[in-house]
């Protein structure tokens, strides 16, 4: 059986399918190869469902082998952050710190320290000022783009809105937009243009919520231009989602629905199927606002999302859609009964930057 797993892993590895190779190497007990494959994947295949196998693989791997692969440990830490597994995250971060403290080579130690600050920035979601501070520290150590947060990673974490991702405090929107613009050059240099177009997308949404639909639409096209040029599917989805809402508010429902359909086309054409749930959430949001509840997928209607293939950070956005669905159907008692759970989901996005 081990050799069957080895053959399957080698086959996937030879075709650039490094995350599948990681799984098969783990099943066969080939831990060195497993961690090397995880490093080659660079975190681009992480999802809501990958967490279980990633955490199992970490526990099964001998510590002496893990210590030789700090980059793989950082990718595992990213997965734990996405799962909101704070205690487990602390454990892995402690192991990472001990590795680079013992590293004899100053060049390698600086590289590890730079990647560590990239990871700290990721774990500081969604405090943009803290994230930016860690990214500037990382840039001071790294000589090139980060190895753990590259241009093929899911910058939006499956969210259909950049505003939803980062708006945290009432009255802070203007400052948030300025910080996003000011921080992008450092981040794009650090990650090889991951999330390109995010600044225009946030600015577009800021204008949208203030009723300036014309300026918002112009900025979505700027975001789309960058997203298409740099292959940023998540930003493209955000742009199409906002455009659909703009067209519908302008009274052109046909164009709005056509634009909404482009989200699915974008996901299929790019073969980034990890965004399938994001596309369904976008459609569900529009349908719920339009009282067309029968078009909302069953997995959204059930009101519990722990077992779905979405990041923990997306759960509270889904509850926005589900809450509107309950209002549409007159289930006010159920909505009030779930109020604490919904608020808990929103509050649970505490930052792990200090861990």
Q: Does residue 234 have a pLDDT over 80?
A: yes
User: What does the pLDDT look like over 138-191, one tens digit per residue?
Assistant: 999 998 888 888 766 789 988 999 999 999 888 999 999 999 999 999 999 999
> What pLDDT, on a 0 to 100 scale, did the predictor assign at position 306?
66
**50-61: b (≥16 Cβ within 10 Å) or e:** bbeebbebbeeb
User: What does the pLDDT look like over 21-55, one tens digit per residue?
Assistant: 999 999 999 999 999 999 998 877 777 677 788 88
pTM score: 0.89
> What pLDDT, on a 0 to 100 scale, did the predictor assign at position 169?
87
CA distance to 16, 71, 282, per residue, from 325 (Å): 42, 43, 14
Q: Do residues 45 and 153 touch, judged by C-beta distance below 8 A?
A: no
Q: Does residue 352 have a pLDDT over 60?
A: no
CA distance to 127, 182, 303, per residue, from 136 (Å): 15, 12, 40
For residue 349, what pLDDT band results from cuts at 50, 70 and 90? low
Mean pLDDT calculated for residue range 116-129? 90
Of the candidates 151, 107, 98, 149, the one whose C-alpha atom is nearest the C-alpha of residue 124 is 149
Q: Do residues 314 and 158 touch, judged by C-beta distance below 8 A?
A: yes
Q: What is the mean pLDDT of the chain?
A: 90
**Spatial separation of the C-alpha atoms in residues 239 and 309, rounded to whole Å:** 22
Mean pLDDT calculated for residue range 321-330? 93
């Amino acid at each position: 059986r081990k050799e069957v797993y080895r053959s399957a892993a080698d086959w996937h590895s030879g075709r650039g399918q490094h995350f599948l190779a990681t799984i098969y190497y783990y099943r066969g007990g080939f831990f060195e190869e497993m961690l090397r494959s995880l490093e080659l994947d660079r975190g681009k295949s992480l999802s809501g469902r990958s967490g279980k196998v990633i955490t199992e693989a970490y526990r099964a791997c001998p510590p002496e082998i893990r210590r030789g692969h700090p980059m793989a440990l950082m990718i595992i830490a990213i997965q734990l952050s996405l799962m909101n597994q704070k205690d487990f995250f602390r454990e892995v971060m402690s192991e990472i710190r001990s590795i680079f403290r013992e590293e004899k080579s100053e060049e390698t130690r600086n590289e590890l320290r730079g990647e560590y600050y990239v990871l700290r920035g990721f774990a500081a979601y969604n405090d943009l000022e803290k994230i930016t501070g860690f990214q500037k520290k990382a840039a001071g150590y790294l000589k090139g783009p980060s190895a753990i947060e590259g241009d093929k990673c899911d910058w939006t974490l499956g969210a259909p809105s950049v505003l939803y991702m980062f708006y945290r405090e009432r009255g802070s929107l203007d400052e948030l937009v300025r910080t996003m613009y000011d921080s992008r050059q450092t981040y794009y240099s650090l990650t090889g243009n991951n999330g390109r177009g995010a600044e225009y997308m946030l600015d577009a949404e800021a204008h949208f919520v203030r009723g300036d639909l014309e300026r918002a639409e112009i900025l979505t096209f700027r975001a789309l231009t960058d997203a298409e040029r740099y292959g940023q599917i998540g930003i493209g989805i955000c742009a199409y989602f906002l455009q659909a809402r703009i067209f519908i508010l302008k009274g052109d429902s046909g164009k709005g629905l056509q634009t909404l359909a482009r989200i699915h086309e974008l996901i299929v054409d790019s073969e980034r199927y990890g965004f399938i749930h994001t596309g369904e959430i976008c459609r569900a949001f529009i349908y719920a606002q339009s009282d067309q509840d029968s078009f909302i997928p069953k997995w959204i209607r059930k009101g519990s999302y722990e077992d779905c293939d979405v990041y923990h950070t997306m759960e509270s956005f889904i509850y926005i859609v589900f809450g509107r669905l309950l209002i549409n159907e007159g289930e006010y008692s159920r909505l009030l009964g779930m109020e604490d759970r919904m608020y808990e989901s929103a509050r649970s996005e505490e930052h792990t930057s200090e861990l």
